[in-house]
Each structure stands twice: as structure tokens, then as C-alpha cells.
Structure 1
Amino acid sequence: MRSNCSVYIDAGYLLASAAVRVAGTSLRNGIHVNYAPLIDQIQTVAQEYSGLPLLRAHWYDAAKDAVPDAQQQRIGELPRTKLRLGRIGMDGLQKGVDLRIGLDMAAHARNRIADVFILVSGDDDLTEAVEEAQSHGVQVIVMAVPNANDKPHAVSHHLIRAADEIALLPGTVIDETVMRVEAPPVPKQLPVSQPAIVAQPQRSIAPQPAAVACPTPRDLAAAANRAPAAAPTATLAYSSVTGSAGRAMPGFTQEDEAECTPDTIDAVVDKVVSTFVHSASADDLAQLRRDRPSIPRDIDRALLLDAAQVTGVYDLSEYTRYQLRERFWKRVLSA
């Protein structure tokens, strides 16, 4: 049997890391992805790096009730690409994705479908799957996504130690297939057709109004965050994604407070908010304002992932989570 390589792509890691490279934060709705060329280029890189023909690439993502959406269906129809889906739980989090990757790698290694596995992920939970595949004589290469400085982004130290080799996906693969989302432009007001004006003695013609300028994302954010007359205007403290505003958070230690400095928290929050405002429509911003104090799951996840990446602490304390969410609302309301 001829030798092959097989690719395992953790879509959550790939897209979040690509978003950090392109937009500066892991917020996925801040980017637009051309999936077909992205996957095709990853397949090409895998063959060139391993020196072996590709058997297939496996794309791991999550969907509601594990039913693929339209985009995921198109991914599953790509040549030599196998779609593997976990679920999105009631809490909005992915379920079963890491387990599917681990089970597939273990089964494929036992059956020796390929001699080299290339894993596009940085998840610590896949360490044992890597070691299980290696025990069956398979070489496992972890291929990381580069950050803006062309360094591996968010790869677990345990995964680095377990892998046979750490490779870097070329930055051009991301730069050519992933783009930062631009907010849809607000159309300029079109002039209303006016009937011809016949000059009349002793009458003056009122000046025409100036053209309406297209508002910037900052203008849209300000408009969306403008409180209605009957609404309170005080900034609300926020304790959790579905928690209540204004609740005190007693009992924190100095160690909790030292985990993530105020400047670091501000930097993370500013990047997430600016990316969201840059890519959101006026309706999106207004909906965010109406849903306060609930933070959309994708935004909350980006806040936590970005903070974890900056601090190197992947189990953030409740104090840090509280501060991130509280300052998120302060930043949104002051935008």
C-alpha cells in the first residue's frame, strides 16, 4: 500500500486564529472566508510539506443538532474533503468536536490509512489523540496558524511536546483567502427630483440642503448606543453572559486581580469592540444595545480567548471574566 498523508482541520482554531491575524481579535464575524481556496491551499501545503500524496482532509466544525448549514454543505462537497460535525449545545458552545477529531485520528492510525497525520489545531485536549496515533506508528505534525508576526498562534505547550514536529501554515494562505469584513455602507440620500423653478420678480429661492455624508462606523455605533428617552443611561456592571447588572463581586484575592491587568483588559476589549463595530450594520449595533446586559456568545468567546492568549492563562478566573464583560459594556456605551 502506498504512503499517504491525511489532514485534520479544527475549524474553530483555524478561523479564530485567522481572525486574529487579519482583524486582531478572534471574533469570527469580523472576517470573510473563501473556504474553497483556503482548504485547497491547506491540502497543497500538506502534500508539499510531507512529501506524500494526500488521502483526504477532514474539516471539523459544529452545527445546530449536527445538521450542516449551507456553507458546511458546500465544504463537504469539495474534492478530497470530509465534513465532520459536532453539535452546538443549548449554551451556544461546541460539543463533541474535539472528541470526533480524537476518535478519527485513533481509528485511522490503527487502520494505517496514512503514514503522516497533519493536525491544524492548537487545542490541548488533542494531546492524547496525538499520542495514541503515534503509538500505532504514525507521524503527527501539528501545523499552526501564524499570527501577524508569523509566529505560531495559540498552540498548547502539551500539544507541542507531544507532536513529532511543529510546522507553520504559510501566512499567504490566510492573507489570500481570509479578509476583514467591512461594514455595509449606508447609502447616501438621493436628491428628490424638483420641478423647474421659473424666476419670479421679488422672490427668493431657498438654498438646497447640503449632501448627506455617509456615516462612519463610529457614527453608527454612537447612533446605536444612544439611549431612548425613557431608558436609564448609567453604565451597567456585568457579571456573566446571562447574569444581572449591578451585582457586586466580593471575595476576590490579589492573585485574581493580578491575573490580567486593567491595561490588558482594556486592550482586549477595545480590539473586540472596534472589530465588531467595524463589521456590524446599524441594525446589529442596535440589537446589541437592546439585548444588554446579555453579550452574544461569539463576542463573549472572543473576549475570553483573546485574554487567555495575551495572558497565557487558559482558565481565566471569575474576576477576570467579570472585568472583561463589565468593561465591554463601558466601551460599547462610550463608543
Structure 2
Amino acid sequence: MRSTCSLYIDTGYLLASAATRVTGTSLRSGIHVEYSPLISSLVAAAEARSGLPLLRVHWYDSAKNGVPDAQQERIGELSKVKLRLGRFGVNGEQKGVDLRIGLDLVAHARNGASDVFFLVSGDDDLTEAVEEAQVHGVQVVLLAVPTVDGKPHGVSRHLIRAADELDSIDDAAVDAAVMKVDRQPLPERIPPEPTAAPTRPTVTVARSVVRTPLDLAAIPQGPAAPRPASVLAYSTSTGSPGRALPGYGDGDGDGDGDGEQDRLIDEVVMRVLASFKESATSDDKLELKRARPSIPRDIDRALLLDAAVVMQNYDLDEGVRYRLRSRFWEKHDEA
């Protein structure tokens, strides 16, 4: 059997890191991705780096109930691409993706599928799988997305130590395939100048008016009930508001939270909000408004991931999670 290389792509890591490079936050809705050229550039990098032909690309992502959406189906139809899907948990976090990557790395290494494995991920949970694959004589090379400063983005130190090498994806390839979404507000329509109507008899015809749910939502319903100063929320999957932490978000400035940590939380929240507002459609904004106090899972995931990166802590405690979600609504209302 001829020697080959294989490519294992953690889509969550790839897109979150690329989005951070382009927009400053990991919110995936803030970017548009040309998947075919991006995958082709990764294949070319793996083949050039190893000097071996590619056996296969393994593309790992999450999907609702494990069923691929239209975009994922198109990716799975690309040449030499194998689609491997996990699912979303009740809190909006992906489930089964890391396990699938780890199992595939070990099984393919045991079966001698390829000589060199290229892993596009930074997840600490893959460390043991990398080490087990190496036991079977496979070389494992990490491919990281570079930050704007040229450093590898969001790669666990444990994973770096376990892998044989760490290399960066060509930044030009990322910039060419990943673009920032910027929905400019529509220009205000200027009504045409009224024209004189002809002096002739007119006939008025009564018409029924059909109102859509969006129309009904726009009708003023009287004064709204005041919202609490601090609303803490989980993802839309749970719909359950959290409990306010003592001394935080009550406006007295005597909070128990660490000042530097609070500054980082505000920094993360403002970046995610800015990216959302630049890329969101009117329907997206209406959905966010209707979901309150819950936070849509893509926004919630970006908040948690960005906070984990800036705090260098990939196991955020409940206190930090509560404060992130609380500050999201507070900053949203201030804007």
C-alpha cells in the first residue's frame, strides 16, 4: 500500500478561529466562508508539508439531531471529503464531535490508513487520542489558524506537547476564503412628491387586510413591563434565566467579581455584540428580541468560547457564565 496523508478538520475550531481573525470574535454568523477553496488549500498544505498524496479529508461538525443541513451536504459531496457529524446538546454545545475525532484518529492509526495525520484543532480533549495514535507509528501534525499577529489561535498547550509538530495554515488562504459579513442598513426611502389627482369620480373598494406574525409583533401593545436590571440566561435550548450573583450587576459597584475578569467579560461581550449587529438580518434581530431572556446558542457559544480564550481558561465556572450572559443583555440595552 502506498504512503498517504489524512486530514482531520474540527470545523468548530476552524471557523471560530477564522472568524476571530477576521472579525475579532468567534461568532460564526459574522463570516461568509467559501468552503471548497478553503478545503482545497488545506489539502494542498498537507500534501506539500508531508510530500504524500491525500487519502481523505474528515470534516467534523455539529448538526441538529445529527442531520446535515444543506451546506453540510454540499461539503460532504466534495471530492475525498468524509462528513462526520455530532449533534447539539440541550445547552447548545456540540456533542460527540471530539469523541468522533478521537475514535477515528486511533482506529485509522491502528489500521495503518495513512502515515501522517494532519489535525486542524486546538482542543485539549484530543490530547490522549493523539498520543494513542502515535503508539501505532503515525505522525500527528497540528495545523492551527494564525491570529492577525501570526500566532496559532486557541491551541491547548497539552495538545501542542503531545503532537509531533505545530504548523500554521497559510494566512492568505484563510483571508481569501473567509470574509466578514457587513450588512449595511438600508437607505431610508424618500416618498415621491404627491401629484394632483385627476378630477373624475372615484370608486373605493374595501379590502381585507391579512397581518403576518411580524406585523402583529410590530403593533404597539401598550407600555411594556419594566425589565430587571440584570437578566441572566442560558441558550435558547433551555429558555431558563439564571440567578443573579450577589453583588454583581446591581449597579452599586461593590461586586465580588475580580476587576480584571470583569473587564475581559465586557470586552468579549462588546465584540460579540458588534459582530452580531453588523452581520444580523432584521429577522435575526427580531428572533433575539423574542428569545429574551434566553440567548441564541450561536451567540452563547461565541461568548463562552471568546471568554475562554481571553481568560486562558477552557473550563469556565458558573459565575463567569452568569456574568457573561448578564452583561450581554445589559450592553445590548445600552447600545
TM bucket normalised to smaller: 0.7 to 0.9
Task: Give the secondary structure class of the aligned counterpart of 2:55.
Answer: strand
1:212 is matched with none
2:240 to 227, 238, 243: 243
Change (3 A) 1:334 1:97: same
1:164 is matched with 164
Equivalent residues in 2 for 1:187-266, closer than 5 Å: 188-189=188-189, 191-192=191-192, 194-195=194-195, 229-232=223-226, 235-238=229-232, 240-241=234-235, 242-244=239-241, 247-250=243-246, 257-258=257-258, 261-266=261-266
1:142 is matched with 142
2:333 counterpart of 1:333: yes
CA distance in 1, matches of 2:222, 2:278: 23
Task: Say if 1:259 and 1:311, in contact at 8 Å, map to a contact too.
Answer: no
Task: Give the secondary structure class of the aligned counterpart of 2:153.
Answer: coil
Change (3 A) 1:116 1:234: same
2:59 is matched with 59
Runs of 4 or more above 6 Å deviation: none
Task: Report the aligned-residue RMSD.
Answer: 2.5
2:78 counterpart of 1:75: no
Task: Give the secondary structure class of the aligned counterpart of 2:26.
Answer: coil
2:286 is matched with 286
| CA positional deviation for 1:5 | 0.6
| CA positional deviation for 1:196 | 6.9
2:137 counterpart of 1:125: no
Which ranges in structure 2 are unaligned for 5 or more consecutive residues?
A: 199-217, 249-253
Task: Say if 2:142 and 2:165, in contact at 8 Å, map to a contact too.
Answer: yes
Change (3 A) 1:118 1:25: same
CA distance in 2, matches of 1:321, 1:91: 12
1:141-188 residue CA offsets vs partner (Å, 9 max, x unmatched): 011111111110010111001000001011111100011111264254
| CA positional deviation for 1:87 | 1.8
CA distance in 2, matches of 1:260, 1:161: 29
Q: Counterpart of 1:244 in structure 2: which amino acid?
A: P
Percent identity, aligned pairs only, is: 58
CA distance in 2, matches of 1:244, 1:268: 20
Q: Counterpart of 1:249 in structure 2: which amino acid?
A: L
Q: In the comparison of the two structures, how many residue pairs are matched?
A: 306
CA distance in 2, matches of 1:227, 1:13: 43
Name the TM-score, length of structure 2 as normaliser. 0.85
1:25 is matched with 25
| CA positional deviation for 1:279 | 0.6
Which ranges in structure 1 are unaligned for 5 or more consecutive residues?
A: 199-223
| CA positional deviation for 1:267 | 0.8
| CA positional deviation for 1:57 | 0.8
CA distance in 2, matches of 1:278, 1:8: 32
Task: Give the secondary structure class of the aligned counterpart of 1:72.
Answer: helix
Task: Say if 1:260 and 1:320, in contact at 8 Å, map to a contact too.
Answer: no
Equivalent residues in 2 for 1:102-121, closer than 5 Å: 102-121=102-121
Name the TM-score, length of structure 1 as normaliser. 0.85
Task: Say if 1:259 and 1:320, in contact at 8 Å, map to a contact too.
Answer: no
Task: Say if 2:22 and 2:180, in contact at 8 Å, map to a contact too.
Answer: yes
